[in-house]
Amino acid sequence: MTAQPMSIAARPHRPRRLTQFLARHEAWPILPFAVILAAFVFMAVAASGLAPLEPTKQSLLSRLRPPGFTSSAGFVYWLGTDELGRDLLSRIIFGARVSLAVAFLSVCASGVVGTALGLIAGYYRGWVEIAIMRAVDIMLSIPAILLAIITVAVLGPSFFNLIIVLGFTRWPRYTRVAYGQTLGVANLAFVTAAKLGGAGDALILARHILPNIIGPMIVVATLEFGLMVLFEAGLSFLGLGIQPPTPSWGAIMSVGRNYVGTAWWITVFPGLCLFLLVLSINLLGDYTRDRLDPRSIQR
């Protein structure tokens, strides 16, 4: 007897599965912010195709025009123009690419360095632990933004120097978390068994300890991501980050502060984008922390 094909009514309904997943993980409140973050990421990745004009194209005859202004050629500047007649919408779109790229690369750099140092300090202990953790205490005693400003002033403002500076100033937070997590894992039975089995230190750290502390490190990385976006915007606002004519939200707002009374849109729109992006990242980071922390999961 041959099996009958599944009827349409009996087939799994994917939207219903998605609804059940969101309800089970209590993700409905966070869904709008996930959509906002996904929109910013898509805008950054597809900036070249989404931007209506080149972000550096100037038109002095169209400078400081309000949102919705239509040029003589029939082009509509949906978010207005800046002091050089550049399309603000195009500059905001390309500014999203800069902000997210700097934040992502900075988090990767600081996360790798900080996690590695925390693993080493928590596993080897002794003078290695003392040296690394005292360095962490010293770094955390210096205001991060002040340290970033001094370092950028010495190295010079550029895209890669900004990544180096932000990665250099934020690794202690990863180190402290990784150190505490490693202390709790290093003496467990499976790590001792691996040592008795002849496994080397590098293998134990990479295959037995790191996978067991990766959850908290991901949480730290998500929370640090929003902070890196703010740091990039702050340094660019001070003229120590991304340099003109490359668009950056901080640099756009820095110029726009001179025209707040006559061209409010130059500061309001990039500021609103910065607010929404950081808010979405922080809320998603809090949600990730709640999902990965067993103590916060109600059974």
- Cα gap 195→204, rounded to integer Å: 8
Would you list the domain boundaries of the chain?
86-296
Q: What is the percent of the chain where pLDDT is above 70?
A: 88
pLDDT at 246 over 80: yes
Q: Measured in whole angstroms, how far is the alpha carbon of residue 193 from the centre of its chain?
A: 38
Residue 229 to residue 223: CA distance in whole angstroms = 11
- The Cα–Cα gap between 163 and 228 comes to 9
Instruction: Give the predicted TM-score (pTM) of the model.
Output: 0.83
Q: How far apart are CA 150 and CA 74, in angstroms?
A: 47
SS3 of 76, please? Answer: strand
Q: Worst-scoring range by mean pLDDT, 153-162, 186-195, 289-298?
A: 289-298
19 — pLDDT class (breaks 50, 70, 90): low
Q: What percent of the chain has pLDDT over 90?
A: 42
pLDDT tens, position by position, 234-243: 988 988 888 8
Asked if residues 57 and 86 have their Cβ atoms less than 8 Å apart, the reply is yes
Query: What pLDDT, on a 0 to 100 scale, did the predictor assign at position 298?
Result: 47
What's residue 12's pLDDT? Answer: 47
Q: What is the mean pLDDT of the chain?
A: 85
Report the pLDDT value the prediction gives residue 182, as an integer from 0 to 100: 92
Residue 298 sits at the vertex; the CA angle it makes with 213 and 28, to the nearest 5 degrees, is 90
22-36, 192-206, 263-277: least confidently modelled range: 22-36
Give, to the nearest 10 degrees, the angle between helix 88-124 and helix 210-237.
Answer: 140
Cis peptide before 52 (omega within 30 of 0): no
Query: What pLDDT was estimated at residue 17?
Result: 59
Averaged over 17-33, what is the pLDDT? 64
Q: Please, which pLDDT band fits residue 299 given cuts at 50, 70 and 90?
A: very low
Q: How far is CA 184 from CA 179, 187, 254, 277, 279, in A?
A: 9, 7, 46, 35, 32
Local confidence band at 288 (pLDDT 50, 70, 90 cut-offs): confident
Selected residue with higher pLDDT from 155 and 77: 77
pLDDT at res. 8: 44
Does position 3 have pLDDT exceeding 60, yes or no? no
User: At residue 5, does pLDDT exceed 60?
Assistant: no
Q: How confident is the model at residue 6 (pLDDT cuts 50, 70, 90)?
A: very low
pLDDT, tens only, 145-177: 788 888 888 888 888 888 888 888 889 999 999
CA–CA separation, 18 and 27 (whole Å): 11
HSE of 175, CA atoms in CB hemisphere, 13 A: 25
Architecture field, domain 86-296:
Orthogonal Bundle (1.10)
Are residues 47 and 96 in contact, defined by beta-carbon separation less than 8 angstroms?
yes
Q: Write the pLDDT tens digit of every residue in 250-283.
A: 999 999 999 988 899 999 999 999 999 999 998 8
Q: Is the pLDDT higher at 16 or at 79? A: 79
* Structural tokens at position 204: 């134990």
Using an 8 Å Cβ cutoff, are 109 and 163 in contact?
yes
Tens digit of each residue's pLDDT (9 = 90 or more) over 101-112: 999 999 999 999
- Spatial neighbors of 86 by CB under 8 A, at least 6 apart, are 53, 55, 56, 57, 58, 59
Query: Which of helix, strand or coil describes residue 37?
Result: helix
Averaged pLDDT, 185-195: 85
Q: What is the pLDDT of residue 278?
A: 93
pLDDT the model gives residue 15? 55
Mean pLDDT confidence for 197-224: 88
CA distance 49 to 198: 55
